[in-house]
Amino acid sequence: MTAFIPVKSMALLTCLIIGSLAGCSSTPDPNFFILQATQNHGVQSLAKQDDVIIVGPVILPEHLSRREMISRSEDYRVSVAEFDRWAEPLDSSIALVVSDNLSTIFGSEQVLDYYARLAVPADYTVRIRVLEFGRLEGSVQLLAVWSIHNQSGDKIALRKIRYAQAFAASEDKIKQVEAMSTLLGQMSLDIAKAISSAKPAG
């Protein structure tokens, strides 16, 4: 004798089976990355700087203002790594890394983040606009416009520079973040040299 299963019961059974199968296919856990200062990677030191230096704001294009890591190809496409993410907002991370680098380069504890300007007058303010930052074909690149302003607000330096480091497609995301940190170190050194050149002798 064939058992008859009501339509409602069949629908419920189907849902339970589908739900069970969905539970078996687990979503991978995301990987979180953070940029690091390069004081342990041979960043050149300059003469000690006692002036107060404020770093920020750092401005990013919209496609970089997200937690997922971005890669760009030359055919107008952008790839989003869904499971490779920044541990903190990228603009804040860049500001902190550049601040730490400048602090090491100058041997100074008076290199502060952007929000410190509300309490401490700055002798020099470093503003950074990032245009590109990440993997592009066979390299990791940083294209940025940075400027330095003195205490009076006068612009004493303005640069638009592309920094690049060869990067093989087979290398992993940790190597990519290390390369990106290295590029920020190179930019930090250029900024430090510009500040040193602007400082009056004596």
**Homologous superfamily, domain 50-198:** ABC-type transport auxiliary lipoprotein component (3.40.50.10610)
Tens digit of each residue's pLDDT (9 = 90 or more) over 51-72:
999 999 999 999 999 999 998 8
Q: Cβ neighbours of residue 25 under 8 Å, at least 6 residues apart?
A: none
Q: What pLDDT score was predicted for residue 35?
A: 97
Cβ atoms of 164 and 143 closer than 8 Å = no
Q: What is the pLDDT of residue 2?
A: 54
Looking at residue 114, its pLDDT comes to 85
154, β-bridge pairs: none
State both tokens at 158: 């303005």
The pLDDT, as a whole number, for residue 41 is 45
Q: Give the phi and the psi of residue 112 in degrees, each rounded to 5.
A: -125, 165
Is the pTM above the cut of 0.85? no
Name the amino acid, one letter, at 10.
Answer: M
Spans in the chain with pLDDT lower than 50: 7, 21-23, 41-42
